[in-house]
Amino acid sequence: MSLNLQGKKVVLGVSGGIASYKSVSLARLLIKAGVSVTTVMTTAATKFVQPLTFQTITGRPVFYDMFNDDFQENIGHIKVPEQADCFIIAPATANIIAKIACGLADDFLSTSVLANNSPLYLAPAMNTNMWNKAIVQENIEKLKARGISIIPPTSGLLACQTVGLGKMAEPESIVKFLVKNPEFQSNSNNGLLNGIKVLVTAGPTREKIDAVRYISNYSSGKMGFAIAEYCLSQGAKVTLVSGPVALMPPEGINFISVQSADEMFEAVMANAPQNSLIIKSAAVSDYKIEKPDPGKNKKRVNLKLNLIQNRDILKTLGKQKSKNQYLVGFAAESENLEAYARKKLLDKQLDLIVANNILEPGAGFDGDTNIVSLINATDVLQLPQQSKFMVAEKIIQKIVSDPKWAQIKNYNP
């Protein structure tokens, strides 16, 4: 994950819960992002994941024994957090949360936290009943009041085979949480898109039939939002134009909400000239109702709708783009993926097209993963199934490696 974290130093605390296995993935993501990771474990955590696993991934010693042979020489629980840019505990069990809230220090992890002076992040993980207990929530509020950041747990199937709130946030969500915190950002000049103005579209559109009904599609907006978030993490100035979705717009982004294809057309055309990079991932309705009923259509045996074509946003952008703009489109197909995508690449005058087969498991609408091919005039890069945030990363990497991008990246309209 080529995030803006190069050179950062993180202490990763792992306490004893079944979610400890996710911490392995978290360590791997941080390492891939250029972070130096030092792992501190509780004794209970070593029962779930072997210290050797973290040592192998991070290339650094793992600390869990307060009284090892070099204790007097190094005093590890003081030395380990000394140079850290941040300290994150994932998973944070009810036990370690209570210890930190009360200032207890009786093992390597809790003493390291007490000696730590860098920003502290906790990713709680526990049974729903435990999470909802008043004492746990009181401890959480105490920690928040002291400036400790809590990465909220999510709902889902827990280890006890019940469904509820208490799952540790996914490793990618934790990394994204870190990226959004200015105190953890590296020098913004390191970002792949530092200072670049980027316009992203996302989500579906809704075309009114009458006052209560509309035509739309299954797009969730997750791909477009992931692209916007990744661009933001790389130092870009991002404008996100989105149709109706159940997602919160990322902080720090200029967010424009629209409903219909006409509204999206107007918003995109008003903002396009000011942006060097335009990524149109929205699933815009091809057709709209010729004459929507201002009231409610009464139920009848049959209803005929006259549909007319909406204006083609991507084609208009292709015609109007300047030599200092880079245009990316999406192609959601059910057959002949590469052929149809290449035709669209040429017809719409795109620099890059992101194509996916909507019938392929893990690649359709509304999911958290995607399987895409990145196609430009000269080659095709086929990507395996991965999260949409990771796909966003690969898209941006493909763009910045294009010789054309080198010609326009310094242009600031």
Annotation marks residue 102 as catalytic: no
Cβ atoms of 95 and 63 within 8 Å: the answer is: no
Lookup result for tokens 């109706």? 244
Please tell me the number of Cα atoms within 13 Å of 110 on its side-chain side. 18
Q: What is the CATH number of domain 9-184?
A: 3.40.50.1950
Q: What angle do CA 26, 31, 32 make, to 5 degrees?
A: 100
Residue holding tokens 């035509």? 215
Distance CA 250, CA 125 (A): 24
CATH 2.40.10.170 for the 191-408 domain, yes or no: no
- Report yes or no: 329 and 280 within 8 Å, Cβ to Cβ: yes
Cα 109 off chain centre by? 29
**Domain boundaries defined on the chain:** 9-184, 191-408
pLDDT digits (tens, 9 = 90+) for 130-165: 999 999 999 999 999 999 999 999 887 766 677 778
Cis? peptide before 182, omega within 30° of 0: no
Active-site residue, from 86, 102, 160, 231: 160
Angle between helices 388-400 and 171-179 (to 10 degrees): 50
Of 30-34, 58-62, 228-232, 298-302, the one with minimum mean pLDDT is: 298-302
Tens digit of each residue's pLDDT (9 = 90 or more) over 357-396? 888 888 878 788 899 999 999 999 999 988 888 899 899 9
Nearest to 175 by CA among 53, 18, 32: 32
**pLDDT score at 76:** 56
Confidence check: pLDDT of 177 > 80: yes
Read off the pLDDT of residues 26-78 as tens digits, 9 standing for 90 and up: 999 998 877 889 999 999 999 999 999 999 999 888 998 876 645 444 555 67
The model scores a pTM over 0.85? no
DSSP state of 169: P
More confident residue, 265 or 181: 265
pLDDT of residue 77: 61
